[in-house]
Amino acid sequence: MSKLLLLDCDSTLSALEGIDELGRLRGPATFKAVEDMTNAAMNGGTPMEAIFAKRLDIIQPTKAELESIGALYISTVEPTAVATLTQLRAAGWTIIIVSGGFTQAIRPLADFLGIARVEAVVLKFKPDGSYAGFDETCPTCRSKGKNVVARRLRAEHQATTVIMVGDGASDLEVKGDADKVIGFGRYAVRAKVKAGADAFIVSLDELPGVVS
């Protein structure tokens, strides 16, 4: 039996929204279009399916660009994350990143934070590194995808407690499949998440006090 702490990545473990940063590489107009779509989904007005492929099709990110986002995640890591995760591990929590972001970009941050498992979306690339789509079987590219992952992880780990932490509507949706949803507002305070979460924090070092 175990205790699972599921953490969002973008605007939670890091200040960045990785997809927006990829959009920024394509210039101001593309950045704005991508950012608007991201916000519409994160605030809970637009289903993830409606924008997931669309944003990537606009950007056409390369393998090298995805790797550069990985380095940016580390340089913008939430300032209390390392110490807090160390403390939570010592208290018996298994920590897993559950994100609608991209596995190849998140993996370097996960390694930096000592997190073995990442449940995110795998992008595909051609041999020359150009974009070739994404793995549509990854649950988190769809609405309620984090719920699917939370249920699967609970069963796999025979977890007595599952807690989801994140800033967006997709994290809030996990209510019912997690024992507690903790909203996070250091980088983005979303009214729907703040109102609906079981607890709301603005720094990860508040987590030990609210997960127990």
Q: Which sequence positions are flagged as catalytic? A: 8, 10
Is residue 69 helix, strand or coil? Answer: helix
HSE on the CB side for 53, CA within 13 Å? 10
* Residue 163 near residue 4, CB atoms below 8 Å: yes
11: left (phi > 0), else alpha (psi -120 to 50), else beta? left
Residue showing tokens 């101001």: 28
Rounded Cα distance between 160 and 1, Å, is: 6
